[in-house]
Amino acid sequence: MANSLDNNPPHEVVIVGGGFGGLYAAKALAKAPVNVTLIDKRNFHLFQPLLYQVATGTLSPADISSPLRSVLSKSKNTQVLLGSVDDIDPQAQKVLVDGEAIPYDTLIVATGAKHSYFGKDDWEEFAPGLKTVEDAVEMRRRIFKAFEAAERESDPVKRRAWLTFVIVGGGPTGVELAGAIAELAYKTLKEDFRKIDTSETRILLLEGLDRILPPFAPELSQAAEKSLKELGVIVQTKTLVTNIENDIVTIKQGDDKREIASKTILWAAGVKASPMGKVLAEHTGAELDRAGRVIVEPNLSIKGYDNIFVVGDLANFSHQDGKPLPGVAPVAKQEGEYVAQLIEQRLQGHTLPQFNYNHQGSLAIIGQNTAVVDLGFIKLRGFFAWLFWLIVHIYFLIEFDNKLIVIIQWAWNYITQNRRARLITGAESLIATKFGDNPTYYSSDKIRDTVNV
């Protein structure tokens, strides 16, 4: 164990990851008598809760991204390093970044999570998830390409598959994607096509448990399901996905097995911790949970290494009510800020009581004018929940530099019902228009499409 917290200044704090956990730790240390090095593979912080709006053509990636250097440019004790961490040496107190050793006195690891297919990694090709800007642009490409392909398809069975969207996972991301695609199909694109009627689009939201939005109170899950149904989404709970291949989703409902033909399958079902968890476990003996998260001490450090902290989605903190805290932005943010404060206290010879998460509520937006908000003591749905969602998100965005643009974009979309950012771009965008050559196209006789609409 290496503890050099009472050394001479400058005390070197190295933070790995510029998500909510890492960035808020760095910001909270801006005035502390320490040197901070924030390492990230990307040059921007991503406001992940709004990523679904990029995937569905409302916002541009830059609208929900803040250059890390610009956010931290006034923190003169902080340097940003664009690079990828290969390894960590807790004995020598060094982090290896692209071959270069960066020494630390205190290390904060905040590398987050990525989507998980529960061991079925071959599903990823057919059902992309939503964690990065590139994921969102790929999802956007698939969604808008599907309508284009349907417009050019004369075979009604194939056209139906192009106009069928399946979203796997009924958590907030799945609900938000389903609601946004419904508004796209039934409102935004209504006048845009000549051969297809986009109101024939089917949007299926599949959830394994008996209700969507499991972290919310049951009455809010019901309200959300009702709102989604009013928007035109087909919600299927107690539905397990048993296979995904060749544009066919196989589902299991009780003893029933069914196949759904869909060209656009979106994954919003599960996450696992980033590989840095394993690296930490190897070097420190830290215990990992089943999702690969590092089980942390009450002060978010690793057992036996009180100068190594893990915050955000990579951490499994269960010292509050026995259950691990959820992988959401407010948890990461509070954890990052707690560790920053603890470092400052330690430098003055003090310490802090254990971390305590202050849960302020759960929010999910369903569509224009409708959302659900669970603050525990008060539960909102419909218009007031939507307004609350809006204010909270604007408040969070204000802390960076994006608020103005996003507010204008939202206002603009609200008034015009349009979505400007619906570009089909990227490496595959040109070949993608060659619909006829699609090698993964199913043969139509293979389809038993028995889900009722």
Nearest distance in Å: CB 123, its own copies:
21
Helix (H, G, I), strand (E, B) or coil at 267: strand
Where residue 441 falls (left for φ over 0; alpha for ψ -120 to 50; beta otherwise) is beta
Q: Taking Cα atoms as reference points, which of 33, 16, 24 lies closest to residue 86?
A: 16
Q: Which is nearer to its own copies, 7 or 79 (CB)?
A: 79
Nearest distance in Å: CB 433, its own copies:
5
Establish whether the linkage from the previous residue to 275 is cis, with ω within 30° of 0: no
Nearest distance in Å: CB 72, its own copies:
8
Q: Which is nearer to its own copies, 304 or 426 (CB)?
A: 426
Q: Which is nearer to its own copies, 65 or 316 (CB)?
A: 65
Burial degree of 349 (CB within 10 A; 0-12, 13-18, 19+): exposed
Q: Which is nearer to its own copies, 74 or 323 (CB)?
A: 74
Q: Which is nearer to its own copies, 81 or 241 (CB)?
A: 81
Nearest distance in Å: CB 453, its own copies:
25
DSSP assignment of 204-261 equals EEE-SSSSSSTTS-HHHHHHHHHHHHHHTEEEE-S-EEEEEETTEEEEEETTEEEEEE
DSSP assignment of 324-370 equals PPPS-HHHHHHHHHHHHHHHHHHHTT---PPP------EEEEEETTE
Residues that bind its own copies (CB under 8 A): 41-44, 60-63, 65-67, 69-70, 73-74, 79-84, 98-100, 133-134, 144, 148, 151-152, 189, 191-195, 401-402, 404-405, 408-409, 412, 416, 418, 420-427, 429-430, 433-436
Task: Quote the DSSP letter at residue 441.
Answer: P
Nearest distance in Å: CB 191, its own copies:
4
Query: Does 153 participate in catalysis according to the annotation?
Result: no
Q: Which of 12, 138, 153, 176 is catalytic?
A: 176
Distance CA 257, CA 240 (A): 9
Active-site residue numbers?
A: 176
